[in-house]
Chains A and B, each alone.
Chain A
């Protein structure tokens, strides 16, 4: 079992003929994801790698292939339109990998997608993987393994670091979700925690946050009030200076708000195990503190 994606995921790749889109489409097909269509305006009628049909529009791709999920690799100026096109075409899950989407674009995309009942993950995220069944995005498949841990993170490579330790310790994953590092994103920690709490196969959850915003604090309240499964947390950016954007557009301490210390305090208040180092997640998962 898993959340958001599984064997029934039928995937469209928007931007399949681009550099990133084609590379990762191949990787997803190799992993076993059902990539049923690609979309690149002007290349409709061609086939990707001789097999996957390419369409000019998402609506056409959905009509012809019964796709239910899309992953977006189009450049930043076109990403907002791509997300809205996918929602309009009736896809229920939209994963946007693109980094650099203007935040004011997202203030319009978010309500548009929500009004059409779709779930958006990202932008500026590594996507998600349900090990052994489906991968949507760019998380390297070989560092993951099937198992009972759910993982949600704002980061990419830091997620890989933690997954690497988990897998090596024999702790496989139901689903790993990267929700992205932008200030406005489609899916937050709580959406994922809620999914993991309801997923019978998930026995414990790892949440990897970072400085900036209050998503982690809100999530900690959710853990305290609504969750029975153990949750272990890690926060990156304890040594980050205030007022500077630490790579991710959303990773910034504004004034005195959004520090690692206040997030760690919220985790502790929720009774969560808090890892001091990425590697400590393994021990905390083995002996949950609550």
Chain B
């Protein structure tokens, strides 16, 4: 789960990290009021779950409360990589002497949290890693012991030659690790970590991603989810216990299992079609999930055919068949449907489908080809 910059900053602040004040505005007049309260030049920053906000025009400086109002009115409602901006963060502009990068991710190779720090901050860290890898220090943390003080200082000294600043940075890294671990994060990032002309070390940005698997045991973090910042269909899918990701094609896919769902999308492409989505109904046998899946897929106006690909293991194919019948009786389909199912209770499933005027196929390739043909014909009509 992604959280917004202002939410991440709140968590970081609670762990003691020095961060300039800031407030969230949802209207231009709120932004103006915040700028008036700070009484200085402010930065108005779009709060959306994508990178590259600055380049897209979602981060602007405002020298007066009136300008803050004006800038906020332009940023609020703007689209950044397909997402609408509903909130801006208003924060006093800081004088910057140097910019560094500090981040923690869970590294798959070492199977540990790994710090990445670089004195080349403020820009895309992947770019730094590709062009000047010697400007990045990577430090795996043993999760049994946490970040040790000498390790933190080692990183501080990699960033700053001034011992006072190195110590301040080391303290921030300890606090960041604390926030990372306590929040069940998959990523925590400060970019940039700056020094001011007065010599202070301050975090100007904050980014945090929470492991979805942590949310059940951390209900206070689950509350940070901002559904207005997500695709409505994806929100609906999550509520129904489905994994759904919208894509640009016209063949709607309903599959059980993530690997098979990806392979199904790939096969749609192989046969000349374009998948409209990734959708995994999971391993359970619940007809309600199938009903929800069909509702979500059919609400996409670009979908020209629907493809079910079910390999029954734990999933009972007769439950899927019942779900299809229930959903289509409630609201008849306006696009053709192709159903492939095999595995657990296949005979029962085929009988249920046939009794309700559907036919079922047993081979994945044949079904995908058929769905692509129907989508292509539908798009031409």
Q: Give the interface of A toward B (CB within 8 A).
A: 20, 76-77, 99-104, 106-108, 110-111, 126, 138-140, 143, 153-161, 164, 181, 183-184, 208, 210-211, 213-215, 234, 236-241, 244, 246-251, 255-256, 260, 276-279
A106-B111, A140-B313 are known contacts. Are A278 and B263 too (CB-CB below 8 A)? yes
Contact among A77, A139, A277 with B313 in the assembled complex (CB-CB below 8 Å): A139
- B195-222: CB near A (< 8 Å → 1, else 0) gives 0000000000000000111101100000
**A7 vs chain B, min Cβ distance (A):** 24
Q: What would 18 more interface pairs be, CB under 8 Å, given A103-B211, A156-B260, A246-B261? A: A20-B314, A106-B111, A108-B143, A140-B344, A156-B259, A157-B257, A161-B260, A181-B259, A183-B106, A214-B109, A237-B262, A239-B262, A239-B265, A240-B278, A244-B278, A247-B257, A248-B258, A248-B259
What residues of chain B lie closer than 8 Å to A276, measured between beta carbons?
270
Contact B262 A236 (CB under 8 A): yes
What residues of chain B lie closer than 8 Å to A153, measured between beta carbons?
259
A213-B108, A237-B262 are known contacts. Are A155 and B257 too (CB-CB below 8 A)? yes
**B349 vs chain A, min Cβ distance (A):** 15
Return 6 A-B CB contacts under 8 Å, by A number.
A77-B217, A104-B106, A108-B144, A160-B313, A236-B260, A279-B364
Contact A104 B181 (CB under 8 A): yes
The answer for the CA separation of A159 and B313 in the assembled complex, in Å, is 11
**B80 vs chain A, min Cβ distance (A):** 14
Contact A277 B365 (CB under 8 A): yes
- B262-283: CB near A (< 8 Å → 1, else 0) gives 1101111110000100101001
Contact B313 A156 (CB under 8 A): yes
Contact B260 A157 (CB under 8 A): yes
Q: Let me know if B115 is at the binding interface, CB within 8 A.
A: no
A161-B364, A276-B270 are known contacts. Are A155 and B258 too (CB-CB below 8 A)? yes
Contact A238 B266 (CB under 8 A): yes
Contact among B184, B258, B315 with A246 in the assembled complex (CB-CB below 8 Å): B258
Contact A103 B213 (CB under 8 A): yes
What residues of chain A lie closer than 8 Å to B312, measured between beta carbons?
140
**A39 vs chain B, min Cβ distance (A):** 21
A255-B126, A277-B270 are known contacts. Are A247 and B144 too (CB-CB below 8 A)? no
What residues of chain A lie closer than 8 Å to B112, measured between beta carbons?
107
Contact B265 A157 (CB under 8 A): no
Contact B106 A210 (CB under 8 A): no
Residue of B nearest to A212 (CB): B108
- B108-143: CB near A (< 8 Å → 1, else 0) gives 110111000000000000100000000000000001
**B91 vs chain A, min Cβ distance (A):** 26
Q: Give the interface of B toward A (CB within 8 A).
A: 106, 108-109, 111-113, 126, 143-144, 181, 184, 186, 211-214, 216-217, 243, 245, 247, 255-263, 265-270, 275, 278, 280, 283, 311-315, 342-344, 364-365
What residues of chain A lie closer than 8 Å to B344, measured between beta carbons?
140
What residues of chain A lie closer than 8 Å to B275, measured between beta carbons?
239
A164-B342, A277-B270 are known contacts. Are A239 and B247 too (CB-CB below 8 A)? yes
Which of B144, B266, B267, B280 has the most chain A CB atoms inside 10 A of its CB? B266
Contact B111 A236 (CB under 8 A): no
What residues of chain A lie closer than 8 Å to B342, measured between beta carbons?
164
Residue of A nearest to B49 (CB): A243
Contact A256 B126 (CB under 8 A): yes
Contact among A107, A246, A250 with B143 in the assembled complex (CB-CB below 8 Å): A107
Which of A143, A156, A234 has the most chain B CB atoms inside 10 A of its CB? A156
The answer for the CA separation of A139 and B344 in the assembled complex, in Å, is 12
Contact A76 B216 (CB under 8 A): yes
Contact B258 A238 (CB under 8 A): no
Contact B213 A160 (CB under 8 A): no
Contact B259 A210 (CB under 8 A): yes
Residue of B nearest to A181 (CB): B258
What residues of chain A lie closer than 8 Å to B186, measured between beta carbons?
103
**A102 vs chain B, min Cβ distance (A):** 4
Contact B259 A159 (CB under 8 A): yes
A103-B186, A104-B184, A107-B106 are known contacts. Are A160 and B258 too (CB-CB below 8 A)? no
The answer for the CA separation of A99 and B280 in the assembled complex, in Å, is 14
Contact B263 A103 (CB under 8 A): no
Contact A104 B245 (CB under 8 A): no
A214-B108, A236-B263 are known contacts. Are A101 and B257 too (CB-CB below 8 A)? no
Contact B262 A211 (CB under 8 A): yes
The answer for the CA separation of A240 and B265 in the assembled complex, in Å, is 8
